[in-house]
Amino acid sequence: MGEDAFKLHTPNVCTVCTIPCMQNSPTTAQKGTESVQNTGPLYHCVCGHEYPVDPQEGGQCPSCLRRISGAAIQNAINATVSITDLDRTDEFHHFDIDPKDDLANKIFGHFRLDRRLGGGGMGVVYRALDMSLQRYVAVKVMQNRNVGSDTRLDATLREAVAQARLNHPNVVTIYYVGREEEEPFLAMELLPGPTLSERLKSEGAIPYAEAINYAVQVASALKHAAFFDIIHADIKPANLIMAGDGRIKLSDFGLSRIQSGTETDTPIAGTPAYVAPELFRGEGFSPQSDMYALGVTLFELIFGRIPFELKGGTVRQRLETHLTAAIDFPSSWPANVPHEFRALIERLLAKSPQDRYRDYDALLADLREITPVSTTPAGYAPRAMAYVIDQSYLLAAISPFAIAIFSIHEYASANSLNLKLFIPIIAFASLIVPSLYLMAIFRGWRSLGRYLFQLRIVEEHGLAPRREQLVPREVLRNAFAWFFPLSSYVSLQSELLAEGITFFLVLFIVINSMTLFMYKGRRALHDLLCHSQVALAVNRE
């Protein structure tokens, strides 16, 4: 039995999430007795008439003459548009749908069931027309004859009430719960999909930046649920549905628990690959058990597999894997995944809930720290201006020391005085300028030039660079400000040595500049050496 559909010691709760209705075969749009064969998107107007539209240009209702723009079509694709020809556009996700269903066209409350989207556990999900608001929704009908009606209704209500009280952009919205001929059902928003589980099966591992963005959204949704004393208890890719524009929504609260009312003897519930080890030890559900499942999910999204192999022929044996198995990280760390990700996963998958994050605020803070920011390379002009400004104020700060050294040297030479002892002392004192500058950089400050021109230093994955990267980078970047004064000081003692320092300084600046213009991504030599990049500054969400 597939693990995505396996539940332990629980009522048979539907494991299917809201997914969109897409089909390959043509459909028939009817108004009265007319029947028109359509091969494109059909827009369901507020007057109840359905007519074909262009996804880019929109259209006009032939019945009430109400116009709809292409932009509105794209924004409302989930609720108002039926797709009959998926070959026309890549913007709609396809699902195989069983055309034969005995509930099609039946009325549940004020919802007319249209087509079956999927099923599992004790429920079947349909696309349905909300006849009161003239829009499409997803309706879950509970249909398990082995369980009494009251039990089914209780399970439905638990999921509906848990979700309906959550007003969050990353939680599937519940519209209605009711019963039709002893069959409990609930209506929820219809999403374009697919689920992340389906994406993993069709495309494999998800890019790091995208997966981390999803993790932030899920953690935010779970934080919101925690405000209402709710633990989801079944976090996994199959319950995370894509909602367009890089957004996902958390669904299926059928196994949710009340945090303050959780008892240690509560039966284990969930999917074996994602069940936290403390649940098997009888310690009860907590936000940390959801964090564990999120850790397994995030590992799976990025590496395309769960973090350990579930071994054993029984459910108990497979669950025991969580108690002892070490995280199976890739032997060769992928170049596209920052090493900071490893520490986050190790904390999320700690065997003891006390070793995980204390709350979702702490988890979100760490997730955002390893969330890539914009890596759009900064232009040549702002980088050049920022460089000139930084060199100018550094040289201006060093110039008093240089003036003092040359003044003492000239005065001593003119008056035959031996004041050479003061020169190295002042030169040593001048080191306070680079020391203060590098200390500010080490503490995470931006240089004045980068601040004025809104530039940010990022490492190769788009993260904030480590401090050990920033300091040597700034030493190399500001080589002129450091070594030109040094060359001047040395020239007082040895012209040949000063010329050598000047030669290598000029050579480095030339190579550094050439690399900036020649290398892809506008990376100068000091960026290549320190694995960094100058990007346009953006605020972290």
As annotated, the active-site residues are 234
Cα separations in angstroms, 86 against 73, 105, 136, 149: 16, 23, 18, 39
| DSSP H or E stretch at residue 38 | strand 34-38
- Alpha carbons 136 and 152: distance in angstroms, whole number: 25
Assigned token pair, 392: 């100018």
- Alpha carbons 314 and 479: distance in angstroms, whole number: 65
- On the question of a cis peptide bond just before residue 20, with omega within 30 degrees of 0, the verdict is no
In 10 A of CB 248, how many CB atoms? 23
Cβ atoms 344, 366 nearer than 8 A: yes
- Alpha carbons 463 and 349: distance in angstroms, whole number: 23
Assigned token pair, 231: 């633990």
Amino acid identity of residue 54, one-letter, is D
DSSP 401-456: HHHHHHHHHHHHHHTT---TTHHHHHHHHTTHHHHHHHHHHHTTPPPHHHHHTTEE
